[in-house]
Structure 1
Amino acid sequence: MTNTTLVMLPGTGSDAAFVRASFAPASAAAGWSLVAVDPTPSDLIAGYRRALDDAVRAARRGGGRLLVGGVSIGAAVAARWLLDRADSGVGNRVVDGVVAVMPAWSGAPDSAPAAVLARSSAEMLRRDGLEVTLDRMAASSPDWLARTLAPSWRSQWPSLPDALDAAAAYASPTDDDVAAIDVPVAVVGVDGDPVHPVSVARAWTAAARRGAIATTTLDEVGRDSAVLGRCARDALAALAPADS
């Protein structure tokens, strides 16, 4: 793709640093520019949508194209944003595809593991404070995840609980919604992740008009998060013949 920018929204509690680490190498190899969006924890969802609107305006000014997506809640917000912009023709005019990495649920969050975890983390943060909660997270999470999230959580404090609650209440696209997306949907699933079940990623792929999935494992992500970017690139490559 010529003059293409990949705009990626982080997952809940994460930040642009993780997005850059995960997607910059694959973006460079594919010839894309990468925009890693930093969250505004006090206004998480609206902030992500503003960033996508800004990216559209920049693409129109520069004559470029966009791939939009995100990790976990970021994937849901990007997909919903594109659906909400369908009447304006954004998909046909500027956006060439959606990159949905580790989608956490479809439809209402209800008892989805990621939503339950976000709600309980927000409650703990308000009750016990940041450092105590970080210590507990480190004791119960893989080392790489705790190392990744600790600086992000500190940078988003004290608004972090608000961001977690906003994510936990967000209505993700349903299967019917995903089927209405009129551009290719590249999905990345992670086997062994109890918070982002790979079954959700497979359901998004099956629902999409033009969908492809690439999977990795939680251990591989822990060793090198750039595997997520490589999987996203592979899924998009699998969709390229349908676009030609």
Structure 2
Amino acid sequence: MKSSSAVLLPGTASDEVFVASVFARPLAAAGFALVAPASRDVRGHLAALDAAWAGTPLVVGGVSLGAHVAAAWAVRHPERCAGLLVALPAWLGPAEGAPAAAAALASASAVAEGGVDGALTGVDGWLGEELRRAWPRYGARLADVLREAAGTPAPTPAELAGLAAPVGIAACTDDPVHPFEVAREWVAALPRAALRTTTLAALGADRESLGRAALTAYLSARD
């Protein structure tokens, strides 16, 4: 794995297709090659990061839960992390009470009761399109994956305070599931971090807007 590679993980019940749509071209323009593992749960995400490690520090990160997992891996293995790209962080520390965790639990119940189609009734626009594409790929494991995500802690502020690598954070200012204030709390906790923003409307029209925001923030924190 070359040092110019970035290993990025998907959010809850999302997939590598969405990660590539967000990050591949912005990273390529900055000289990075995207590695988007097809992992489907927290254990798989951690295994993918371990597999990517080949003795040279990596840029790692992801979207929402994927960003949390990558940050936790970096906290655990600081010598392996050259930097972090954190898109849409959803909570710090325990997930309890976070809007994204509540949404994942509600989705798990809806999937268990009515399947994917029933759970996504009324979910329209680009988000509905993404979920209708990604969720069926999880098959019978979908509800369990959603529940696992809702119970998975992110790094605490104290843990992030010990991470010396540069961190770029991207947030949508109008996202109630991934509150902008949470992104600001991540930035405040980290020694070398920068924040850039976009909106859900911009993300719907251009997936790469989120990747550009995270990458611009990372380059600012690195420099």
Q: What's the TM-score, normalizing by structure 2?
A: 0.95
Asked if 1:56 corresponds to 2:67, the answer is no
Mapped partners of 1:3, 1:83: distance in 2: 19
Q: Shift of the alpha carbon at 1:39? A: 2.8
- Indicate if the aligned counterparts of 2:10 and 2:65 stay in contact, CA closer than 8 A: yes
Given residue 131 of structure 1, which amino acid in structure 2 is its aligned partner?
D
1:129 partner SS: helix
Mapped partners of 1:225, 1:181: distance in 2: 28
Q: Shift of the alpha carbon at 1:36? A: 1.0
- Indicate if the aligned counterparts of 2:9 and 2:36 stay in contact, CA closer than 8 A: yes
Q: Shift of the alpha carbon at 1:3? A: 4.3
In the alignment, which of 41, 57, 61 is matched to residue 69 of structure 1?
61
Asked if 1:172 corresponds to 2:158, the answer is no
Q: Shift of the alpha carbon at 1:81? A: 1.0
Unpaired runs of at least 5, structure 1: none
Q: Shift of the alpha carbon at 1:53? A: 0.4
Mapped partners of 1:13, 1:25: distance in 2: 23
CA deviation vs aligned residue, 1:185-224 (integer Å, no higher than 9, x gap): 1111111101000110111011101110111111100110
CA deviation vs aligned residue, 1:32-88 (integer Å, no higher than 9, x gap): 110112232xxx11100000001113xx3xxx54210010001111111111224xx
Over the matched positions of the two proteins, sequence identity in percent amounts to: 39
Q: Shift of the alpha carbon at 1:101? A: 0.7
Given residue 12 of structure 1, which amino acid in structure 2 is its aligned partner?
T
Q: Shift of the alpha carbon at 1:123? A: 1.0
Instruction: Give the match for residue 22 of structure 1.
Output: 22
In the alignment, which of 122, 126, 150 is matched to residue 112 of structure 2?
126
4+ runs of 1 displaced by more than 3 Å? none
Unpaired runs of at least 5, structure 2: none
Bigger share in helix: 1
- Indicate if the aligned counterparts of 2:192 and 2:222 stay in contact, CA closer than 8 A: no
1:191–1:119 distance in 2 versus 1, CA, 3 Å = same
- Indicate if the aligned counterparts of 1:49 and 1:81 stay in contact, CA closer than 8 A: yes
- Indicate if the aligned counterparts of 2:39 and 2:48 stay in contact, CA closer than 8 A: no
Instruction: Give the match for residue 99 of structure 2.
Output: 113
Given residue 28 of structure 1, which amino acid in structure 2 is its aligned partner?
A
Q: What's the TM-score, normalizing by structure 1?
A: 0.87
2:140 partner SS: coil
Mapped partners of 1:39, 1:155: distance in 2: 11
1:104–1:180 distance in 2 versus 1, CA, 3 Å = same
Pick the structure with greater CA Rg: 1
